[in-house]
Amino acid sequence: MSRKTNRLKRAGATSSSSRDNTSKARIIAVCNQKGGCGKTTSVINIAAGLASLGRKVLVVDLDSQCNATTGLGFEHSEETKSTFDLMVDTGKVHLSDVVQETEYPQLFLAPGSIELSEFESRVAAEIGRENKLKKALSRAASDYDFILLDTPPSLGLISVNALNAATEVQIAMQAHPFALDGLNLLLETIELVREELNPRLSVSGVYFTMFDGRTNISHLILEEVESIPELKNKIFKTVVRQNVKVTEATQAKVPVMYFDAHCVGTQDYMALAKEISRQGKHATRTARSPKQTQDELSV
């Protein structure tokens, strides 16, 4: 993993972290059981954006598809320990055994592996199976400013582990009619985890991905989500517009800001990273401006 670091300056990176060692990481579970709605792309690009702002960031890949792992340019091999080992061999494998440096300053990765697809059956009979990730991350919370958890497209045990370990949850959503279908179930799951396992958990924001401001339906869905009581004032002001450079960056396995420092995708993800960074510690509410202009929201 040693490419393209010289592009940092172009993208406005800073070299040193402003964190002090007594502060605790914001642990953000990025969730939505709907597949392909931009969770992993957002985790990679928000993480790169936050790291370029000088924050120390760890991406934790919890999906057996390992898209966050490959998207940060890392190829998993049999010798490398993954988040599966971390959660299955708790006590024997520590986070420091798993974390890899990336080629981007301040940005670290706990890689996933295909074995994550067996996680549920492997720990099914174990007491405390919902606490595996929480335990694994507990001692590392003071080592990072942000820990971003990329979750799979399901509300199974891995997502429950992520919600239990997190200090906050962000929902990545596409402004598409199907996107609303599973939203209630997701909100119910978050509420259940908050009640039963993790009282500090709350939704700290919803962001729209692949947004096409030219279509009425996108705006209608955005308004519909804003009207859901649990999500009132929690929609990020920044919407991430549909942008082919984001797809090309995914294919090139680099964060979009290192692929094209000036494209719309870089602008939007930097704006979102700044908005997230400005939020208070542990889940503050982010008000969306009452009406963004068509220009702001269109491609």
In the complex with Mg ion, the residue whose CB is nearer, 131 or 250, is 250
- Sole binder of ligand ATP in the list 26, 39, 76, 288 (CB under 6 A): 39
- Please tell me the distance from the alpha carbon of residue 163 to that of residue 151, in angstroms, as a whole number: 9
- The residues pairing with 109 across neighbouring beta strands, listed in sequence order, are 59, 100
To the nearest whole angstrom, how small is the minimum distance from the Cβ of residue 255 to Mg ion?
15
213 in contact with ligand ATP (CB under 6 A): no
User: Do residues 86 and 98 lie in contact, with contact meaning Cβ atoms separated by under 8 Å?
Assistant: yes
Q: Return the sign of the alpha-carbon dihedral for residues 268, 33, 147, 66.
A: negative
Q: Return the residue nearest Mg ion (CB atom).
A: 40
User: Do residues 99 and 109 lie in contact, with contact meaning Cβ atoms separated by under 8 Å?
Assistant: yes
- Sole binder of ligand ATP in the list 28, 47, 52, 63 (CB under 6 A): 63
Binds 164, which of ligand ATP, Mg ion, none (CB < 5 to 8 A, cut-off by type)?
none
To the nearest whole angstrom, how small is the minimum distance from the Cβ of residue 40 to Mg ion?
3
280 in contact with ligand ATP (CB under 6 A): no
In the complex with ligand ATP, the residue whose CB is nearer, 93 or 175, is 175
Binds 112, which of ligand ATP, Mg ion, none (CB < 5 to 8 A, cut-off by type)?
none
- Sole binder of ligand ATP in the list 29, 41, 110, 145 (CB under 6 A): 41
Sort residue 285 into left (φ over 0), alpha (ψ -120 to 50) or beta.
beta
To the nearest whole angstrom, how small is the minimum distance from the Cβ of residue 125 to ligand ATP?
27
Judged by CB under 6 A, the chain residues 229 through 258 that form the site for ligand ATP are 240, 242-243, 246-247, 250
In the complex with Mg ion, the residue whose CB is nearer, 40 or 106, is 40
Note the residues at the interface with Mg ion (CB under 5 A): 39-40, 67
Tokens, residue 296: 């702001």
To the nearest whole angstrom, how small is the minimum distance from the Cβ of residue 37 to ligand ATP?
4
Q: DSSP string spanning 132-185?
A: HHHHHHHTTTTT-SEEEEEPPSS-SHHHHHHHHH-SEEEEEEESSGGGGTTHHH
- Please tell me the distance from the alpha carbon of residue 269 to that of residue 49, in angstroms, as a whole number: 7
In the complex with ligand ATP, the residue whose CB is nearer, 152 or 201, is 152
- Please tell me the distance from the alpha carbon of residue 164 to that of residue 26, in angstroms, as a whole number: 13
| Interhelix angle 39-52/244-252, nearest 10 degrees | 80
209 in contact with ligand ATP (CB under 6 A): yes
What's the distance, Cα to Cα, between the start and end of the chain in Å? Answer: 33
Pairing of strands 26-31, 107-110: unpaired
Stretch touching ligand ATP by CB under 6 A, among 11-19, 38-46, 106-114, 281-289 = 38-46
- Beta-carbon count within 10 A of 291 CB: 8
153 in contact with ligand ATP (CB under 6 A): yes
Coil, helix or strand for 9? coil
- Please tell me the distance from the alpha carbon of residue 53 to that of residue 161, in angstroms, as a whole number: 29
To the nearest whole angstrom, how small is the minimum distance from the Cβ of residue 208 to ligand ATP?
9
How many residues sit close enough to ligand ATP to count as binding (CB under 6 A)? 20
Give the residues lining the site for ligand ATP (CB under 6 A).
Answer: 35-41, 63, 65, 67, 153, 209-210, 240, 242-243, 246-247, 250, 265
